[in-house]
Amino acid sequence: MAWTSMSLFLGRSKPVAAIVSILAIVGVAVVCVLQDNLVGYDIPAVATATILLLTLIPRKLLVVHVSLVVGFLSYAITRRRYSTLGPSSALDNLVLLSSIAIVWTFISAQSLWIRANSDALVQAEGVLYKTAIQPIHHLLVVAGMGTVHVPYAGKDTSKKPLTVVLIHGYAAGNGFWALTLNHLAEHFNVWLGIGRSDRPSVAFKSYDEADAFFVESLERWRQELKLDSMVLCGHSMGGMFATHYSLKYPKHVQQLVLVSPCGLPEVESPVHWLFDLIWSLEITPMDLVRLAGPFGRRFVRFILSSTVASTRVKCDQNGPPPHGCDGPRAYAKRPLKHMLVPDEVKMPISFIYGEDGNDWMNSAHAAKIIPGLPQHTVLHKIPSAGHQVFMDNPQEFNDRMVESILAAAAVAN
């Protein structure tokens, strides 16, 4: 956060800003060391520099990380022990808290508190698919993207089945689609992409760069699989990038299926300045969860349970909530409503939402778009389902999904 702020101030890249920040902090620490009565300043300064380095240096350099932690602890203890200020519980507590902050940052940066690993994740995902999927399926990594292939398992072999590509949403994974795969494979050749993908270190300078990163990643994935055309289905944030991909590579997208997509409307109310600051510092909700270390899971459960409980009480008192009042602020800098227009999209589009009042996303925004689109476009609302439509009511979702795709294909033919 410190070097991001410095980056904004200097107008320089974050690595440069980080170096400037560290030099400034170390400089202050040196001055403090020369002035023994400033011991209360140099320890936090050195701690800040150490935290910056722990965050900046790749975690695979474990020896460097350990050296930084040991170095700071040695410095802090020695600095306090040989200080001429005498006994001081305030300074003792300062050393203790600074040391805890360093150790906590190290543990979080190294993810030492995570009991799972990539091998265990692959194994768990494999067990999930074996339980949920009857046909043959394959777990792959294609163009750096975690991929699941469920070949067509239908009885009609007289014609080539459509290829359906599923893209999950934010903080989700391929396994979220598990309950839909059996049914879809009876009608289509099914591919899932993104979950368990590579984690390249990237820094986006603009919205266009971030958008291109996801769109071009999907295009490289498609090229490697040699999929000439596909029915592209995206859920939530995946729906947003599926739309962007369809606009750039329309010849490869036969149909677009948007399942409770985010980013459709314009911002309905100004975003609180604190949220703007957090996002400008490139701090995501997952960063906060990781920083919480072993308490991350409990933190998420507390937030979700308190939100749901509070919403239920308010609903009992005041009636049902408006769409999305208990959901995230899932707005896009470039609303999809301005992209889903006749001049931009030509392929059939299907919108699938959860039940009104249960889904975080408001289906009314899609309903406003549909009349202006000349191509085959439908809207389905799945009863007894929320934002995770395909998990809340998989049978109804599967039926409407297949119905939408086959109907659009029939119109196209």
Cα distance between residue 314 and residue 307, in whole Å: 11
- Retrieve residue 338's tokens: 């301005």
Q: Is 203 exposed, middle or buried (0-12, 13-18, 19+ CB in 10 A)?
A: exposed
Whether pLDDT at 248 is above 90:
yes
CB 234 within 8 A of CB 258: yes
With residue 318 as reference, give the H or E element that holds it.
helix 296-318
Q: Compute the average pLDDT of residues 204-214.
A: 81
Would you place residue 320 in the very low, low, confident or very high pLDDT band (cuts 50, 70, 90)? very low
Predicted local distance difference test score (pLDDT) of residue 318: 46
CATH number for the domain formed by residue range(s) 118-268+329-412: 3.40.50.1820
Q: How far apart are the C-alpha atoms of 91 and 97, rounded to whole Å?
A: 10
Kindly give, in sequence order, each residue whose CB lies less than 8 Å from that of residue 311, ignoring residues fewer than 6 positions away: 321, 325, 326
350 Cβ neighbours under 8 A, 6+ residues apart: 255, 256, 257, 258, 377, 378, 379, 380, 401, 404, 405, 408
Cα separation, 192 vs 132, in Å, equals: 15
Please check whether residue 359 is in contact with residue 323, taking contact to mean a CB–CB distance below 8 angstroms: yes
How far CA 125 is from CA of 118, 147, 174, 238, 305, in Å, comes to 10, 11, 9, 20, 26
User: pLDDT by residue (tens digit) across 343-399?
Assistant: 888 899 999 999 988 888 999 999 999 999 988 999 999 999 999 999 999 999 999
Contact 189, 162 (CB under 8 A): yes
DSSP three-state, residue 97: helix
CA distance 81 to 37: 14
Q: Is residue 272 over pLDDT 80?
A: no
Q: What is the DSSP letter of 339?
A: T
Considering only 58-62, 179-183, 195-199, which range has the smallest mean pLDDT?
A: 195-199
Residues 249/407, Cβ–Cβ less than 8 Å: no
What digits encode the pLDDT tens for the residues 85-142?
667 777 788 888 889 989 988 888 787 777 667 777 778 888 888 888 776 888 888 8
More confident residue, 211 or 413: 211
Number of C-beta neighbours around residue 408 at 10 A: 24
Q: What distance in Å separates the CA atoms of residue 50 and residue 72, rounded to the nearest whole number?
A: 7
In DSSP notation, 229-240 reads -EEEEEETHHHH
Order of strands across the sheet with 138-142? 138-142, 145-150, 189-194, 163-167, 230-235, 253-259, 349-354, 377-382
- pLDDT (0 to 100) of residue 49: 86
Residue with tokens 């979080």: 108
Higher pLDDT: 216 or 45? It is 216
Helical axes 89-110 vs 62-81, angle rounded to 10°: 180
Residue recorded with tokens 């940066």: 109
